Structure 1
Amino acid sequence: MATIPDPVQTAYEAAAAQRTLSLPTIPEELRALEADDLRGGAEEPLEAIDASGLIIADENFSELQAAHARFANCFLSCCDFSGSLFTDTVFEGCDFANSYFDNAGFTRCTFKNCKLTGASFMEANLEHVTLTDCTLDFGAFNRCRFWAVSATRCDFSGADMAEMELHYVTLDDDRFIGTSFFRTPLLGLDFSTCQLEGVALSDTMAEIYGTKMNVYQAAALARRLGVIVAE
């Protein structure tokens, strides 16, 4: 007897196919970057630079361009990076809390141990981006595009991730508590190793079609649909 394929499983497997992430290419020799050089980054692209230990707040860095760059242990809170372009860039131990990256582009970038609490990435584009041990809670990702993005041990609690476009996204041990996925298709995402509690969805809960969850996560969502789950 022929087995009839499960359309949901088929849709999940097709969407869950992954892409090998391309990592940043960083030259061995980098030029040390000073705060004034960063302020002029919108006029001249920053190439092969090493920004370390910068402390700047409430500055406008909109339309900054940086490539083959490293930012380490920088405090750049409440800054405006709207429309900026980062290519082959490493961010490590940086504090970007409450900064703006609206309409920014990130290609082959990595974030490690970074604080991005309350940061705004509205309509930003992230391609081949790795996020590890980062806090992105209460961030704004409305209409943001993730293409080949990996997040490991990151906190997206309270974030607004509405109307996003997600492709080839991998999650591992991340936190989504009170996160809004309103009108964001989550097809192909595997939340089974993550914390997923109290997320905001549309009334039809169509966003979760074709996602993978563990039994406890699925039961919690089933209760919201009015299903009585046997213990």
Structure 2
Amino acid sequence: MELAELLRTRYSYRAFRPDPVPADIVDEVFRLAQATPSWCNTQPWQVHLLSGEATIRFGEELGEHVLSGAGEVVYLGVPAYTGVHAERRRESGYGLYAALGIAREDRAARAVQMLRNFSSSGAPHTAVVTSDRALGTYGAVDCGAYVGTLMLAARSAGLGVIAQGAVAMRSDFVRRWLGLGDDRLIVCAFSFGFADDADPVNRFRTTRADLDAVVHRVDS
């Protein structure tokens, strides 16, 4: 698949078939992602790949932790969205609920859907990406580039994938669960597998800003 087609057809999958991805395909996806450029070639990303029972247990226990209200919520430097960023966030959320037939006043159904942000959304594999905290902003930026490359690599292999920044909001829990020290910065998780195309949630699409809204041309 050409890069242009990958970029046009990639989107966040939120429903998956339960069958696992063959190990050789998983390895090839991660091998391709290793080509991601990084600051001074530091390659700061470390990945904990969960499969099978580990994926299920991680999602269930993290969901229980969120519902309990225990632990500190990490906002990753973004405690609130304002302006156009808030508008885009609302559009995405309303579009998702509309695709699922969830009314705005149906708080119970919205809560159930919210919890899926902390689980694998039914995917057979979840990966947690961390960076060395000492590398600061550039470590996180490099990991973001890595996740973007990984998503395209997964798409090229016929897989669906969704990045889950919400998991990093419970970084203390994730570090304990994986046995990591405080020196590891939880960047995000992403879940992947074969998409369930019959599920209406996978028909939901977000919009993109016009080019003139983001590219500011300076000619002289």
Classify the TM-score, shorter chain: under 0.3
Greater relative CO (CA pairs within 8 A, separation 6+): 2
The structure whose residues are more often helix, as a share, is 2
TM-score (norm 1): 0.21
Which has the larger Rg? 1
TM-score relative to the length of structure 2: 0.22
